[in-house]
Structure formats: structure tokens, C-alpha cells
Amino acid sequence: MRAGSNLEKMLESGQFAVTAELGPPKGTNQRVVERKAEVLRQCCDAVNVTDNQTAIVRMSSLSVSILLKRMGLEPVMQITCRDRNRLAIQADVLGAVGFGIQNMLCLSGDHQKFGNHPTAKNVFDLDSIQLIQTLAGMRDRKKFAGGDDISGEAPLFVGAAANPFADPFEFRVIRLGKKVRAGANFIQTQPVFDVDRFKRWMDLVRKRELEQQTHILAGVTPIKSAGMARYMRDNVAGVGIPDSIVSRIEQAKDVKEEGIQIALEIIEQLKQIPGVHGIHIMAVGWEDIVPVIAEKAGLLPRPVV
Amino acid sequence: MIVAEQKPLDELRQMLAPYDRLLILGCGTCVTVCFAGGEKEVAVLASALRMAEAIDGRGKAIAELTIHRQCEPEFVAELREKVGDAEAVLSLGCGVGVQAVAEALPGVRVLPGLNTKFMGQTVEPGQWKELCAACGNCVLDLTGGICPIARCSKSLLNGPCGGSEDGRCEIAPDVQCAWQLIYDRLTQLGLVHLMEEIIPAKDWSTARDGGPRRVVREDLAKLSQ
């Protein structure tokens, strides 16, 4: 055990894990977080807290992670390289550990061009792989990136993202291998819509035996509307949503019901793929649906480890 | 070379409004090659300003001059005699040129006529692209001769992020993904294994982050003494 978090125990026990994403509010009201957290409390093993996702300023991932911890939920604090340099990130990690936060997810971060401050200067002092190395070094060598000793322990369960739907396809598994060697203990993938491509990626993952060195959680995003499906297909790079799914949504009488149905079908297929250790549900702006999906997918109640 | 673009005419007119006697100063090097601040651009801008002033019914005395290189003290020195009674010099040099001219002419207002964009090359007539970010510690040996610091939107050092699709960067369809280019080139060279290596956190102290930079060559300094 590296950190002994609930998520780590769940994955180490070999049971199928469930994580879900919580997007902090564009404002100061902690009630918004509390409401979303109550929805997610019983249906997942840990809750990812996004870090200014899509480069839109929101309540910070550190503060919301602390709030979740106080409510008795287990956070996965997301950290992007876009907004903070190695000093600021390590400072946040020290503080987070102090508050009992153990799971952290290392990300590059969406470019600020997409967000609500497109004229901002970005940082990218570290990239996501160097960030994994930094966190693993803080835990294992008890040293900062700059080489100084850290006083105290940093028991972290370090995660990273993977996108099997971005290009070049053959490099995607090489990149995963680099993340694993850098120290990624778990991986959460971008949402899977094209299951065939995901299977091909997992074949390459198993060829390199990476699924034995890290825990892979496959991403799932329920589609809420035809507009959302088309937008993701046409405007979001590296999502790869097949036309067949877009037309199913477009032709559905009850769009939301169809979105849930598609998510359940995808989860069913993901469960069958060797090396997939869990799912990560990213119900962007639709957190209320997560318990429904977890229930219908037969993933409730969550086991106690 | 250094690539620059002329500032919009309205902005220049506003900047020049307080001055009646102007010298528009071109540079014969990089900005001539990228058609932003050479002899021809000086002439075109001077006549545009004269016309605009004539329409507004005001008069400005506008002189024109292009020197070989605004960034070299020996070429800038001649300006002290040639600047005449100009109250302001509008430099069509890059940011280096503007500053070198200002240093040579302490009593004269020196203003920038260009926006200096980047270090790059011509793609095709009328199109230039950035290639080098002058980070002070070249990594091109590891990346197949394609710079991820200048050409990846996030300056990533360990391969493409999840926003790379069909060779394009997530920020815009007309931006190539630098890491796709690196991958293709290393594949072609049979060196794709280089991309398996983790490039550790970069030492940015050699870049602008380390403070204003200066290169000192003791051997050359001694020779000139």
C-alpha cells in the first residue's frame, strides 16, 4: 500500500472500482459542492475534483477536495500543469496531505484558449509525466523536485489520464508506459464511446503488461442531449464519438433515457475487457444520473474494503 | 530570422499624434525579408501617413531612412547625424532594433512600428511560422529536429497530449501537432524508441525565466582589448 486510500484498497483487492467526477462551482457557494457530493456519496469509491476544467475558473480542486474529505467522502484531487509551476503544485500537495487527501490525478490541462480567460499566460513548467515523477518522488524519496528533503511523509496514490482516442494511436500506449514508469499507480481514461478502438488499445496495453503495473479505470460519459453528442463529435479533439451513437441519440424519443442506455451498454462491454479494473463516470453537469447508472450497471452497493 | 508584423495604421497614428517631425526608420535584415520593415515598407507607410495627415488637414514632416541593421551598434551610430531635427523616430525594426536605436539616440523619442512575433522561417510567400523559443538549452537532438517547446501549444516534453487528432493540435485546426511531427520523423529515421525515454523536468533557468540573459565569451572579449 502506498497511501492506503479507499480507492487504492479497492483496486488492490481486485474488485471493480467506480469513481465519479465532480465539477466545482463557478462561484463561492459550498452548498453546491455539498449537494453534488451527497448525490455521489453512496455510488462510488472516490470522487474526482476537477482543476479549472476546460480552463474555466472554478472553486479550486484543493479546497473542494478538503470539503469532500470533511464530509467523509474520498477525493481524487486533480492537478493540471497549466496554471501552476512546480513550487505552487508541491505547496498544494503538502497542504492536501495535511488534510488527509491521498489520491491525486496528474494532467497536462486543457489549453487556456478554450476557457474564460483566453488572454492568460500559461505555465506548463512541468508536463503531466514530470508531474507524476514529482509526486512519486515526494512520496518515495521524501524529496522535493528541487532535491531538498521533505519533513514528514507524503503517502500519495498517484494517478494519470490516458486518451486511447487521440493520435498517433500507436504512441498512446507508449505514452501510457512512460506514465507507468514515471510512477502512475492508477489510470483514468477519457470517455469511451468507440469501444472497438478502446479494445484495440487495451490489446496493446496487455502486450506490454502495463495493466499489471497500474490500475486502469475506463472513462464513461452519459450523453444528455443530441446537441452535446454533436458538439463532442465535431468540436472536442480526441473524443472520437462514433456517428452510430450520435444518430441513436438524435432519433431517440427519450434522449436522456437513450443516453443512459448507451452508457450502460458501454459499461457492460468494458467490464468484459481483461485488464480494465474499474470505471470512471464523468457526467459533466449531470451528476444526478451517476447513482442511476451505477445501480442499473449492477455496481451498487459499493463493497467495503 | 525574426518575424514581425506592422502595427495597425490607427494605432500608429495615435502613437505619433504628438509629433510633427518624424523619421521612419527601416531595417535591412530580418524585417526586410518578412516584408514588415524594409525600405519598401518604410516608403509605403510614410505615404499612408502623409495621406492620412493630408485628409485631416494637418501637416507632418515625415523623413524616411533604412539602415542595414538596427541591432548592430556600428550601423546605428550613423543615425546620430542622420536623425536631423526629428522629434520622434518610428522604428520598423524588431524589438531589438527599437531598443538599440533608442540607446543610440538618448534625446529622441523612439517608437515601435512593428509587433515582433517570433523566431521562425518562411512557409510559403506571405506565411511564416515559429520554430525556436530560445530556451537556452536545445533539445532538438531528442526530438527529431522539431522543437516541442516552440511548436507544441503546451511546450510538452514527453509526447502529445490527449488533444492531438489527425496531426492537428487541439487549439485550432490549422495548428499542426508538433508531437505528431516528431513521431512521424523519428519513425522515418528508425528512432521512435527515443520517445520511450522520459525527459525529466526542464531546467528553465537558461530560458527567460532565469532573468535577462547575456552571453559572455571571454576569449573574444580578450581579443578586442
pLDDT band at B56 (very low <50, low <70, confident <90, very high): confident
Q: Where are the domains of chain A?
A: 6-296
- Among chain A residues, CA nearest to B192: A171
- Hunting for cell 444518430 — which residue is that? A247
What DSSP state is assigned to residue A112?
G
Q: Which helix (H) or strand (E) holds A188?
A: strand A186-191
Distance of CA B117 to the CA centre of its chain: 5
| Residues of chain B contacting residue A178, judged by C-beta atoms under 8 Å apart | 158-159, 196, 198
| Residues of chain A contacting residue B155, judged by C-beta atoms under 8 Å apart | 124, 127
Which residues are B91's β-sheet partners? Answer: B25, B112
**Chain B interface includes A208 (CB < 8 A):** no
Fold of A6-296: TIM Barrel (3.20.20)
Looking at the predicted structure, is the pLDDT value of residue A213 above 80?
yes
pLDDT band at A88 (very low <50, low <70, confident <90, very high): very high
What DSSP state is assigned to residue A239?
-
Check B201 against A145: CB less than 8 A apart: yes
pLDDT at residue B57 in the model = 74
**Chain A interface includes B48 (CB < 8 A):** no
Nearest to A122 by CA among B33, B68, B171, B131: B171
Nearest to A111 among B154, B177, B204 (CB): B154
**Chain B interface includes A174 (CB < 8 A):** yes
List of domains in chain B: 2-118 (3.40.50.2300), 135-210 (no CATH)
| Residues of chain A contacting residue B168, judged by C-beta atoms under 8 Å apart | 237
Report cis status (omega within 30 of 0) of the bond before A301.
yes
Which residues are B90's β-sheet partners? Answer: B24, B111
- CA–CA distance, A164 with A172 (Å, rounded to integer): 6
Cβ–Cβ under 8 Å, residues B88 and B110 = yes
pLDDT band at B22 (very low <50, low <70, confident <90, very high): very high
Per DSSP bridges, beta strands A103-107 and A46-49 are unpaired
Q: How many CB contacts within 8 angstroms connect chain A with chain B?
A: 103
Q: Is B84 left (phi over 0), alpha (psi -120 to 50) or beta?
A: left
- CA–CA distance, B109 with B93 (Å, rounded to integer): 15
**Chain B interface includes A124 (CB < 8 A):** yes
pLDDT band at A62 (very low <50, low <70, confident <90, very high): very high
Alpha carbons within 13 angstroms on the beta-carbon side of residue A144 total 15
- CA–CA distance, A257 with A241 (Å, rounded to integer): 18
Q: Is the dihedral of CA B47, B49, B55, B59 positive or negative?
A: negative
Check A111 against B196: CB less than 8 A apart: no
Nearest to B162 among A124, A182, A238 (CB): A238
pLDDT band at B224 (very low <50, low <70, confident <90, very high): confident
**Chain A interface includes B177 (CB < 8 A):** yes
- pLDDT (mean) for A181-190: 98
- Here the ipTM equals 0.95
- Among chain B residues, CA nearest to A112: B171
| Residues of chain A contacting residue B158, judged by C-beta atoms under 8 Å apart | 127-130, 175, 178
- CA–CA distance, A175 with A201 (Å, rounded to integer): 12
Distance of CA B137 to the CA centre of its chain: 20
Per DSSP bridges, beta strands B114-124 and B2-6 are antiparallel
pLDDT at residue A1 in the model = 87
Q: In this predicted model, what pLDDT tens digit does every residue of A219-251 receive, in sequence order? A: 999 999 999 999 988 888 778 899 999 999 999
Check B158 against A175: CB less than 8 A apart: yes
Kindly report the three-state secondary structure assignment for every residue of B180-212: HHHHHHHHHCCCHHHHHCCCCCCCHHHCHHHCC
Long-range contacts made by residues A65-71, C-beta under 8 angstroms, separation at least 24? A65/A96, A65/A99, A65/A101, A66/A96, A66/A99, A66/A101, A67/A30, A67/A33, A67/A34, A67/A37, A68/A22, A68/A33, A68/A37, A69/A99, A69/A100, A69/A101, A71/A34, A71/A37, A71/A41
User: CA separation (Å) from B218 to A98, A264, B224?
Assistant: 51, 70, 10
Nearest to A190 by CA among A113, A108, A54, A282: A282
Check B158 against A181: CB less than 8 A apart: no
pLDDT at residue B222 in the model = 83
Give the minimum alpha-carbon distance from A211 to chain B in angstroms, rounded to a whole number: 18
- CA–CA distance, A80 with A87 (Å, rounded to integer): 13
- pLDDT (mean) for B54-79: 91
